[in-house]
């Protein structure tokens, strides 16, 4: 029903009233470079993850904090979906809720049409912290662990683990313990561990935030390469506009605390040398303006 | 701003690039350290030399004071120790002591496991454990001995009771602290893999808390060992055959000071072996290899 050049299928409908409310703020809908959008989206597939008017709250000892207010979005198979927002907008909270660690006080999350009730191996997460690897297992052991715990045979898990580790360039480090790896290598191992499980959704919570700038850039390109090879569904949380534009195929822009949907934008995917081009800066500027208004003119 | 910065730069320096030499042309890149330095870098060598030094000081002082009743020489003590071992007296006493110790230690650990399981799974359990530990941990276990004698009579059960008391609280406190200190990230990672309940505890919590658990085991061991020897010294014989503490007590009564020293040395030797060999091996094979302790 939709032309190939039209907006992705998920946008045509499926938004609740509350979502439309937030859209009153003149939400820009720019569609660029559909050619790089995943095939699944264009072929009218059903959303993999759906958020319906989700309000998330958490408790501190003194307060009940509303992290996000009536947030709705759809994530389609094969998308690189980036959740972007200033710190404190509840983007990590959204990810934790998709993972099943947090129950929405209003609205719901569904995965493949089924409501999310708790954490499970169909939605694996790569965290920002380096201590997500089990220190008592080798790199290979770490990657095999979730598969073994979920009934994959030893031989199969080892084969898949070695494959995934080779993909993230850790093929020579399989027998090493995590404490001997650098930060970037630890994150690669965590990505391999998640990839090897072949989850429906791979979630990343600012996985490169604690890395140095050079390593981060390298890891971003590796992630894109990996996505090109396997075409998994990625949900990526970041507070860096550049990172969102580089990595995302679709970007959900959240307003500051409490997080509400400000916009959903497409990113055409910028190759390394296109990142100094005008189109890249235009998109960055646009998002920057959405988030910070006049004050955030420069990024 | 950057314009003014450029204007204020005092002068422009020449840029340059250079080729670096290939490592082979630099010559010596790596050289083995001298043999003595390498020996001195070994823990074992340093520790043994400390022991030798202590033995020399001991021998010198004992010869100088020349009072074998109060302070026998190192060589006399070694002789007494050797004959005690050859005659089978010390080994027999050691077996009695160790059997009691292991029974008490095992019981203490089992009870600690129960308390910690309660404490990590319910809030009430946490409160129960922390209240009980703050009550009993500062209490020297040996202070319960009079009460134990009243309840269980003269014999092994009394000693085991005080050993359990000395082990339980230290181990439970450490293990629980270790479990609560496991990072939130690691917990969440475990849960996303679909681990729940018992599997979650044994495959995520316990290994992650292992450094704390091991230090609890060490402290518990030391407490148990001390408490046991002290308890044996107080009333010695249990069911006809005494342990090491009784051996020390007995020989003091006979004024055979060299044997008293031999008994004390045995107590220390067992402590050293357990600490330096058993626990150290566990440590090297686990938390050191995992990089959880340096």
Q: Positive or negative CA dihedral for B36, B42, B46, B51?
A: negative
Q: What is the pLDDT of residue B3?
A: 52
Q: For residue B204, which residues of chain A lie inside 8 Å, CB to CB? A: 134
Task: Give the Cα separation of A130 and A150 in Å (integer).
Answer: 24
Q: What is the pLDDT of residue B47?
A: 86
Which of B192, B204, B286 lies at the smallest CB-CB distance from A119?
Answer: B192
- Among A58-62, A115-119, A171-175, B188-192, which is the least confidently predicted range? A58-62
Which of B186, B189, B208 to mutate: most A Cβ within 10 Å?
A: B189
- Window A:98-157, CB contacts with B under 8 Å: 99, 101, 119-121, 123-125, 127, 129, 131-132, 134-136, 145-146, 149-150
- Is it the case that residue B13 has pLDDT exceeding 90? no
φ, ψ of residue B18 in degrees (nearest 5): -135, 155
Q: What is the pLDDT of residue B241?
A: 65
Report the DSSP beta bridge partners of residue B272.
Answer: none
Sequence ranges of chain A with CATH classification 3.40.50.300: 34-46+78-102+115-122+201-293
Give the pairing type, strands A49-59 and A106-111. antiparallel
Confidence category of residue B238, pLDDT binned at 50, 70, 90: low
pLDDT, averaged across chain A? 80
Q: What is the pLDDT of residue B240?
A: 55
Domain boundaries A34-46+78-102+115-122+201-293, corresponding CATH code: 3.40.50.300
The domain ranges of chain B are: 37-66, 77-288
Find the length of chain B.
294
Instruction: Please give the average per-residue pLDDT across B33-42, as a whole number.
Output: 85
Neighbour order of strands in the sheet with A234-238:
A123-126, A201-205, A234-238, A80-84, A250-254, A261-266
For A192-229, what is each residue's pLDDT tens digit? 999 898 888 999 999 888 888 888 888 888 888 888 88
Q: What is the pLDDT of residue A82?
A: 93
Q: What is the pLDDT of residue B236?
A: 59
Q: Answer whether CATH 1.10.3720.10 is correct for domain B77-288.
A: yes
Q: What is the pLDDT of residue A44?
A: 60
Instruction: Please give the average per-residue pLDDT across B108-123, as a whole number.
Output: 88
Minimal Cα–Cα distance from B284 to chain A, Å? 12
The structure tokens listed for B178 are 């270790």
Instruction: Please give the average per-residue pLDDT across A227-252, as a whole number.
Output: 89
Enter the ipTM.
Answer: 0.76
Distances in whole angstroms, Cα of residue B52 to Cα of each of B48, B74, B80:
6, 11, 19
- Which helix (H) or strand (E) element contains residue A253? strand A250-254
φ, ψ of residue B108 in degrees (nearest 5): -60, -45
A45: left (phi over 0), alpha (psi -120 to 50) or beta: beta
- Is it the case that residue B150 has pLDDT exceeding 70? yes
């Amino acid at each position: 029903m939709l032309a190939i050049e039209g907006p992705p299928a998920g946008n045509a409908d499926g938004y609740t009233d509350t979502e439309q409310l937030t859209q009153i703020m003149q939400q820009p809908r720019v569609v660029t470079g559909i050619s790089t959008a995943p095939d699944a989206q264009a072929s009218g597939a059903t959303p993999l993850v759906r958020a319906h008017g989700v309000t998330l709250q958490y408790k501190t000892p003194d307060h009940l904090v509303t992290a996000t207010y009536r947030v709705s979005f759809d994530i389609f198979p094969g998308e690189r979906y980036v959740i972007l927002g200033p710190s404190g907008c509840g983007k990590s909270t959204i990810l934790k809720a998709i993972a099943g660690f947090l129950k929405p006080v209003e609205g719901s999350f569904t995965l493949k049409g089924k409501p999310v009730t708790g954490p499970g191996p169909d939605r694996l997460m790569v965290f920002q912290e380096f201590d997500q690897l089990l220190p008592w297992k080798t790199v290979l052991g770490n990657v095999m662990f979730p598969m073994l715990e979920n009934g994959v045979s030893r031989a199969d898990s080892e084969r898949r683990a070695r494959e995934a580790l080779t993909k993230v360039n850790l093929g020579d480090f399989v027998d090493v313990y995590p404490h001997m790896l650098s930060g970037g290598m630890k994150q690669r191992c965590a990505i391999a561990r998640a990839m090897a499980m072949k989850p429906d959704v791979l979630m990343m919570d600012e996985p490169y935030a604690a890395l140095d700038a050079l390593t981060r850039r390298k890891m971003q390109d590796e992630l894109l390469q990996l996505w090109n090879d396997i075409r998994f569904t990625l949900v990526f949380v970041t507070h860096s506009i550049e990172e969102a534009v580089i990595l995302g195929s679709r970007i959900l822009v959240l307003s500051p605390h409490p997080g509400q949907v400000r916009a959903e934008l497409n990113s055409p995917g910028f190759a390394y040398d296109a990142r100094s081009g005008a189109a890249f800066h235009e998109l960055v500027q646009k998002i920057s303006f959405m988030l910070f208004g006049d004050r955030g003119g420069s990024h | 701003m950057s314009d003014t910065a450029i204007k204020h730069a005092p002068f422009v320096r020449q840029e340059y690039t250079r080729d670096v030499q290939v490592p082979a042309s630099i010559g010596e890149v790596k050289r083995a350290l001298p043999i003595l330095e390498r020996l001195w870098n070994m823990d074992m060598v340093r520790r043994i030399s400390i022991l030798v030094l202590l033995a020399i000081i001991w021998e010198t002082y004992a010869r100088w004071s020349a009072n074998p009743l109060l302070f026998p020489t190192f060589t006399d003590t070694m002789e007494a120790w050797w004959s005690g071992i050859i005659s089978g007296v010390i080994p027999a006493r050691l077996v009695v002591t160790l059997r009691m110790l292991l029974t008490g230690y095992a019981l203490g650990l089992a009870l600690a496991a129960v308390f910690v399981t309660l404490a990590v799974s319910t809030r009430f359990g946490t409160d129960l454990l922390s209240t009980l530990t703050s009550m009993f941990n500062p209490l020297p276990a040996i202070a319960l001995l009079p009460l134990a004698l009243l309840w269980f009579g003269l014999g092994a059960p009394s000693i085991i009771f005080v050993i359990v008391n000395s082990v339980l609280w230290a181990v439970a406190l450490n293990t629980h602290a270790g479990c609560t200190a496991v990072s939130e990230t690691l917990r969440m990672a475990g849960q996303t893999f679909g681990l729940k309940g018992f599997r979650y505890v044994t495959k995520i919590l316990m290994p992650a808390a292992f450094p704390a658990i091991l230090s609890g085991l060490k402290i518990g061991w030391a407490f148990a060992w001390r408490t046991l020897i002290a308890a044996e010294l107080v009333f010695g014989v249990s069911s006809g055959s005494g342990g090491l503490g009784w051996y020390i007590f007995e020989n003091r009564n006979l004024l055979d000071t060299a044997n008293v020293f031999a008994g004390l040395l045995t107590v220390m030797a067992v402590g050293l072996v357990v600490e330096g060999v058993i626990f150290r091996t566990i440590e090297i094979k686990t938390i050191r290899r995992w990089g959880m302790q340096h």
